[in-house]
Amino acid sequence: ASLTEQQAGKKGVGVDVELCSAINIDNDTFVERNFTNAEIEYCQSRPDRQASFAGRWSAKEAVFKAISSYGKIASEGAAAPLNEIEIISDDVGAPQVVLSGKAKSAASAAGIKNVNVSISHSGGYSVAVALAQ
């Protein structure tokens, strides 16, 4: 079967759980390397900044895993910094995935047309699940 046939309906899935307190949001270098300015501004504005950054982080990791599991990802995909996987909020607050740079190239090369993600946090943990299709 052709690659197109093999991948018809194929889905990649990714999950990530984080102990929220493990994300060091006071480390500016870490934050700026992994979050976009829009994400930083969003998370800083939330009532629970720690949980908000952790949720975004979980979402980025879940998206990365979903893309990687979809198919053979060119090696530059693995090296993509996490700020190339941006999580924005749509007008009703649901998270949307915006890929750029090497993350976008890797997803395109794998034939991924769409990546969905969902985020949740409670107690001391955040969890995110992503689907690449």
71 binds its own copies (CB under 8 A): no
CA–CA distances in Å: residue 37 to residues 31, 43, 58, 88: 10, 10, 18, 11
Using CB under 8 A as the binding rule, whether residue 92 contacts its own copies is answered as yes
* Closest to its own copies by CB, 38 or 74: 74
Q: Does 101 bind its own copies (CB under 8 A)?
A: no
Q: Please pick, from the candidates 61, 80, 83, 84, the single residue that binds its own copies as defined by CB under 8 A.
A: 61
Does 79 sit near its own copies (CB under 8 A)? no
Q: Given candidates 40, 103, 107, 130, which one binds its own copies under the rule CB under 8 A?
A: 130
Angle at 16 between CA 48 and CA 118, to 5 degrees: 65
Residue 66 found at the interface with its own copies (CB under 8 A): yes
Sign of CA dihedral 56, 76, 100, 84: positive
Q: Residue 98 interacts with its own copies (CB under 8 A)?
A: no
Cα separation of 5 and 129, whole Å? 26
Structural Rg of the chain based on CA atoms: 15
* Phi-psi group of 93: left, alpha or beta (phi > 0 → left; psi -120 to 50 → alpha; rest → beta): left
Give contact residues for its own copies (rule: CB under 8 A). 9-19, 22, 61-62, 65-66, 68-69, 78, 92, 94, 114, 116-131, 133
